[in-house]
Amino acid sequence: MTIQAQILDELRQLREQSGAGIILVTHDLGVVADIADRVVVMYAGRVVEQGTLEELFYDPQHPYTWGLLGSITRVDSDRTLRLPAIAGMPPSLLRPPQGCHFRPRCPHAFAKCKEIPPLRATLPAAPEHVDRCWLDRERKQRLRMVDGRIGLAAEPAVVT
């Protein structure tokens, strides 16, 4: 952790001195929270969500992003429970699933998900916050809350 913090400091200094942008590829959301201004979430070769750091962490729109956020370990978690994880395995990129690539692992999938969702903005107040999911905003706000925090439900949800 100490070395990681030193490297992130170094990157920040280089960014300020050079004025350049940095693209950092990571699965570590702690690193993302520490250094990123904008975040692009990718799944199986496609961008599934993109927005500012605040948009992604506080108002995530895609179930895969919910799963990533829900998998973060917390010091106040119940230690007798298993750590949350996204069920299933990443798909083969040689034979990806039809439609939404996250469909086989998504507990909220429904018939429309066999079509490829477009990357689009659905929030009028945040036109650059885009995601690739067919669920409407009201359903997303309801489904992303798992045990009082943002996460991905382990069991299939009843989606009407």
Q: How far is the CB of 88 from ligand SF4 (least distance, A)?
A: 12
DSSP string, the chain: -HHHHHHHHHHHHHHHHH--------S-HHHHHHH-SEEEEEETTEEEEEEEHHHHHHS--SHHHHHHHHTS--TTS-TTSPPP---S-PPPSSSPPSSSTTGGG-TT--GGGGSPPP-EE--TT-TT-EE---S-HHHHHHHTEETTEE---SSPP---
> With respect to ligand SF4, which residue has the nearer C-beta, 36 or 105?
105
The tokens for 62 are: 């895609």
Q: How far is the CB of 141 from ligand SF4 (least distance, A)?
A: 14
> With respect to ligand SF4, which residue has the nearer C-beta, 53 or 107?
107
Q: Are strands 120-121 and 46-52 parallel, antiparallel or unpaired?
A: unpaired
> With respect to ligand SF4, which residue has the nearer C-beta, 8 or 40?
40
Q: How far is the CB of 119 from ligand SF4 (least distance, A)?
A: 11
> With respect to ligand SF4, which residue has the nearer C-beta, 63 or 70?
63
Q: How far is the CB of 18 from ligand SF4 (least distance, A)?
A: 37
Q: How far is the CB of 112 from ligand SF4 (least distance, A)?
A: 7
The residue ranges that bind ligand SF4 (CB under 6 A) are 62-63, 100, 102-103, 106, 108-109, 113, 117, 133-135
> With respect to ligand SF4, which residue has the nearer C-beta, 20 or 111?
111
- CA-atom Rg of the chain in angstroms: 17
